[in-house]
C-alpha cells in the first residue's frame, strides 16, 4: 500500500459542459492524458473536483465512471469527506468503490471540532471504512488544524489510516509527523509549491492540482525528489512555481480550469459560488503557457 501512493497523485478537476452538467467525454480525455503522462495515481472528487456542488447522485455516477476510464492502469483514491461523520460512513456503502485502493477524507470543516473530536471522527471512519484512509489536513479551507500530536495519535491507533495529505504549510508540524510517524505512514504534500522541500524532509510525494495541466514535468520532478536527485529536480520546480502561484491567485479550481481550457482539455465552466478567473489573470495564464512551451 505504501508504494502505491508514493509519487504524484492528481486531484482531478470535474469537467463541466457550458450548461454545467458533467462533461464525461472531457473527463475521460483528462484521465487518459494523465495516465499516459506518467502520474502515479488519481484522486476524483476532492476539493479540486468541486465536490461540494456535486450531488450525491452525481458522485455515485462519477466514482464508477473514473474506475472504468482508468481500467486499473493506476491506483485510485476516492474523495469522501465532510463534516457529518454519520453521513460519510453511509457514503462508504452508498458509493460504488470497486477499482479503488483508498479513500481521501478531509478533516471536518465549518463545525471546527476539537482535537478530540477530530480523533473520534477518524476513529469512527477507520472502524467503518471498506478501504484504507488518507487524512486530509487543509486548515485554510476547514477552519481547523489537525495537530501533529493528533495525526500521530490517529496513525498509531488505527492501522487502516495509512497517511495524511498535509496542506497546513507548517513545516514544524510536518517535520514532527515525519520524524515520529509509525513505519509505513505516508506524509503527502497538499501544496504543489512545497512538494520539493517536503520530500526533502522525508515526505512521500504529492496530491497535486497543477499536474492536471502539467503532468509530465511535475511527476518527473517528484520522482527525482524521491530518488534524492534534487539538483535535477530544482529546474523543474522553478519552471513550474510561477504557474503554481497563479492557480490559487483567485481561488482554486478557477485557476487550473483556466489552464485546462486553454489546452483544450476542459471547458472553463463552474458551479456557483465558484466563478472563472478575471480576464487579467486569464491573460497572465495564456502568457505563462506560451512561456512554458
Nearest to 187 by CA among 162, 224, 157: 162
Please identify which of the residues 41, 122, 165, 259 carries the catalytic annotation: 165
Q: Averaged in consecutive runs of 10 residues, what is the pLDDT profile of the chain (293 residues)?
A: 89 97 98 98 97 97 98 98 97 97 97 97 98 97 97 98 97 98 97 98 98 98 98 97 96 97 97 98 97 88
Q: How far apart are CA 70 and CA 180, in angstroms?
A: 35
CA–CA distances in Å: residue 68 to residues 34, 120, 147: 15, 34, 37
Calculate the dihedral angle through the C-alpha atoms of 163, 167, 168, 170, rounding to the nearest 10 degrees: 80
Does 238 qualify as catalytic in the annotation?
no
pLDDT the model gives residue 92: 97
Q: How far from the centroid of its chain's Cα atoms is residue 65's Cα?
A: 18
CA–CA distances in Å: residue 132 to residues 8, 49, 85, 234, 277: 18, 21, 16, 33, 36
Please identify which of the residues 41, 122, 136, 259 carries the catalytic annotation: 136
Nearest to 56 by CA among 94, 12, 102: 94
pLDDT the model gives residue 1: 61
Nearest to 274 by CA among 88, 20, 9: 20
Asked if residues 63 and 56 have their Cβ atoms less than 8 Å apart, the reply is no
- Dihedral over Cα of 210, 215, 216, 220: its sign: positive
CA Rg value for the chain: 18
Q: How far apart are CA 186 and CA 77, in angstroms?
A: 14
Does 136 qualify as catalytic in the annotation?
yes
CB atoms within 10 A of CB 88: 21
Fold of 3-232: TIM Barrel (3.20.20)
Query: What strands lie across the sheet with 186-189, from one edge to the other?
Result: 41-43, 7-11, 205-208, 186-189, 161-166, 133-137, 102-106, 77-79
pLDDT the model gives residue 3: 83
Q: How far apart are CA 41 and CA 235, in angstroms?
A: 24
Amino acid at each position: 500500500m505504501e508504494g502505491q501512493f508514493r509519487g504524484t497523485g492528481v486531484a482531478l478537476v470535474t469537467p463541466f459542459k457550458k450548461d454545467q452538467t458533467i462533461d464525461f467525454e472531457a473527463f475521460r480525455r483528462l484521465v487518459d492524458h494523465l495516465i499516459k503522462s506518467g502520474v502515479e495515481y488519481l484522486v476524483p472528487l476532492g476539493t479540486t473536483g468541486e465536490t461540494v456542488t456535486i450531488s450525491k447522485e452525481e458522485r455515485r455516477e462519477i466514482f464508477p465512471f473514473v474506475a472504468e476510464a482508468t481500467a486499473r492502469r493506476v491506483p485510485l483514491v476516492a474523495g469522501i469527506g465532510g463534516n457529518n461523520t454519520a453521513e460519510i460512513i453511509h457514503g462508504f456503502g452508498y458509493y460504488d468503490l470497486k477499482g479503488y485502493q483508498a479513500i481521501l477524507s478531509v478533516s471536518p470543516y465549518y463545525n471546527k471540532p476539537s482535537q478530540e473530536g477530530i480523533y473520534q471522527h477518524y476513529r469512527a471512519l477507520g472502524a467503518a471504512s471498506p478501504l484504507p484512509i488518507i487524512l486530509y489536513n487543509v486548515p485554510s479551507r476547514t477552519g481547523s488544524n489537525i495537530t501533529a500530536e493528533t495525526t500521530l495519535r490517529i496513525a498509531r491507533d488505527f492501522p487502516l489510516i495509512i497517511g495524511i495529505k498535509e496542506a497546513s504549510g507548517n513545516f514544524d508540524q510536518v517535520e514532527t509527523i515525519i520524524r515520529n510517524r509509525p513505519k509505513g505512514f505516508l506524509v503527502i504534500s497538499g501544496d504543489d509549491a512545497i512538494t520539493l522541500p517536503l520530500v526533502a524532509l522525508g515526505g512521500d510525494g504529492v496530491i497535486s492540482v497543477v499536474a492536471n495541466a502539467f503532468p509530465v514535468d511535475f511527476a518527473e520532478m517528484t520522482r527525482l525528489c524521491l530518488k534524492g536527485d534534487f539538483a535535477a529536480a530544482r529546474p523543474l520546480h522553478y519552471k513550474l512555481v510561477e504557474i503554481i502561484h497563479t492557480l490559487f491567485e483567485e481561488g482554486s479550481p478557477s485557476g487550473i480550469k483556466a489552464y485546462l481550457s486553454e489546452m483544450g482539455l476542459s471547458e472553463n465552466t463552474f458551479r456557483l459560488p465558484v466563478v472563472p478567473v478575471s480576464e487579467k489573470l486569464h491573460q497572465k495564464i495564456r502568457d505563462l503557457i506560451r512561456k512554458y512551451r
